[in-house]
Chains A and B, each alone.
Chain A
């Protein structure tokens, strides 16, 4: 059974640009969550999608957005990148209260 797949693994962007990250959940999982991990703030919840609907949202500015497709794949978009957006972005898929994470996308903003 394939795990959670995140692409790309590494990304370097320039301040002011926008970026889209992709997450393919485990087959059969309808919930996809996104987390930002930084050395200073730790793991912070961004948002969760379930059956193409955003079900829950963390405390992040509107520059962070996401969506989920009918096949449960999810994308996360960050517009107008700031240096502070440099982080490891982790995606998790699950059913009920479980969560299995991907390897993450390491975003560096320069």
Chain B
């Protein structure tokens, strides 16, 4: 069974602070993919990153960085120097390649509020 846990329901930070969003996953598969999505108030889930289970390299994209650790089944997301535009709900998700289709398993999301 696949499961994604985002223990942080809501986080508030002051602008320019760094913030880390936690994601812990469960799967018995050896091949799987992890994702982060951002959901602004408009509703659309905006794709941020995809990482496969064989690539544990950390990734940095501008102010965003991701730390993938298979040993702890975690895929954490850090925003450096947060901005008001970062305020949104962030979802971590897991899927696995399958000929019978793709199903994404989402965490419950972390609502981030950046206070100016």
Q: Do A and B come from one complex?
A: yes
The residues of A with any CB-CB pair to B shorter than 8 Å are 31, 33, 35, 42-43, 45, 48, 50, 55-56, 58, 88, 90, 92, 94, 96-104, 106
Interface size on B, residues (CB 8 A): 25
Q: Is the interface of B mostly helix, strand, loop or mixed?
A: loop
- In the complex, chain A residues whose CB is within 8 Å of the CB of B101: 31, 48, 50, 55-56
Question: How far, in angstroms, from A106 to B37 measured CA to CA in the complex?
Answer: 19
B37 touches A101 (CB 8 A): yes
Q: Is the interface of A mostly helix, strand, loop or mixed?
A: strand
Q: Which of B11-19, B59-67, B75-83, B104-112 contacts A (4 or more CB under 8 A)?
A: B104-112
A58 touches B103 (CB 8 A): yes
Digitize B87-116: 1 where CB-to-A-CB distance is under 8 Å, 0 elsewhere: 000010001111011111111110000000
